[in-house]
Copies of this chain bind each other. A is one copy, B any other.
Amino acid sequence: MIISMRLHATKEEVAQVRARIEEFGYKVHSIEGEERVVIGAIGMGDVTACLESLEAMPQVEKAVRISAPYKFVSKEFRPERTEIKVAGATIGGDEFVVMAGPCSVESEKQILESAEIVAKGGAKLLRGGAFKPRTSPYDFQGLEEEGLKLLAKARTLTGLGIVTEVMSDRDVSLVAEYADVLQIGARNMQNFALLKTLGKCGRPILLKRGLSATVKELLMSAEYIVAHGNPDVMLCERGIRTFETVTRNTCDIGAIAALSEMTHLPVILDPSHAAGKRSLVPALARAGVAVGADGLIVEMHPHPEKAVSDGAQSLDPKQFAKMMADLKPYIALWKQARMAETAATV
């Protein structure tokens, strides 16, 4: 920690601050400038509590932590990539993985049709919501367990893995029975009761970034899951909320690049929610491959104009097939770069 004292703080005030820091078990070094004293605190202790305490002291101008607030998810803790094996695919390694499907599970016919199209296009996992977070209480809330059963049926028929959302700690074990990957929605990224439960669920997690969550907060939420016992977390950039409305959200492509320096966890891009408009999805998908994401999660609906949710951003089967074909040379370049990297670190 670095603590800067207010201008012209007295010696006594500096001594009080030093004493407080030492109470928390840190060693203290102070630097006396002409205007201001700056204090460095070194060691191991309860950083958050110490910072809170110091910031509450009137003679302190600012107290800043130097070390990252997360540990298990950081690249410094573990330099090798986390590889997550699911449904015959390895996410986070040398394979670029596509997950696709409709926003909601609507009927047996719809989800089986979707699964077939998605599998044919080369996706390895099928997405589809059985529990739906909806802004309005009057909107379709999902088929719940019935929807989970339909997803399981689609898996049996196609061999695709299943990614589906869980919204409450109460439903984690139920959803984990059916799903291969549990998705946590953007609005639940800091539902800490839910995050803790995921530590013991025995399934990989796809953790979506909150609408206004910073990259560090996303990593802290992943840290919750890992610290509670589950190392298999994928992070998902799905666009953040800004002043811009020409797209539904603002696709933070730079966050993907930054995350690849900060963490060993795989990062997935959701171009559908980022764009909010079907025609922009393929371009964002290409950008996601090029920037170095580990995979995509894309909305595809057999009949978007009949979708109960997210129809405007869902690709139709033909568009999905074209996008998957167009992505091939980009994925080939991606694979080449990834293998060169692996070769370099061996």
Name A residues whose Cβ lies closer than 8 Å to a Cβ of B. 2, 4, 7, 20, 29, 31-36, 38, 40, 42-44, 46, 48-49, 52-53, 55-57, 61-62, 64, 66-67, 69-70, 76, 133-140, 167-171, 187-188, 190-194, 196, 210-212, 214-217, 220, 223-224, 227-228, 239-247, 250-258, 260-262, 274-275, 277-280, 283-284, 286-292, 304-312, 314, 329-330, 333
Contacts and interface: CB of A to CB of B under 8 A. Distances in A.
A240 B250 contact: yes
Nearest to A33: B42
B193 A167 contact: yes
Given A32-B42, A137-B223, A251-B252, 17 more contacts: A2-B64, A31-B40, A34-B43, A36-B66, A48-B138, A55-B312, A56-B307, A168-B194, A170-B170, A170-B193, A188-B191, A215-B246, A244-B255, A247-B254, A261-B279, A284-B291, A329-B333
A245 B214 contact: yes
Please indicate which of the listed interface residues A52, A53, A224, A289 has the most CB atoms of chain B within 10 Å of its own CB. Answer: A52
A140 B52 CA distance: 12
A31 B29 contact: yes
Contacts of A190: 133, 135, 187-188
B212 A211 contact: yes
Contact of A243 (B34, B242, B260): B242
Nearest to A243: B241
Contact of A291 (B57, B62, B286): B286
A329 B336 CA distance: 12
Contacts of A52: 307-312
A321 to B, nearest CB: 17
A220 B135 contact: yes
Nearest to A31: B40
A286 B260 CA distance: 15
A245 to B, nearest CB: 7
Contacts of A306: 53
5 contacts: A38-B66, A136-B223, A240-B250, A286-B290, A290-B330
Given A48-B139, A135-B220, A253-B284, A307 B53 contact: yes
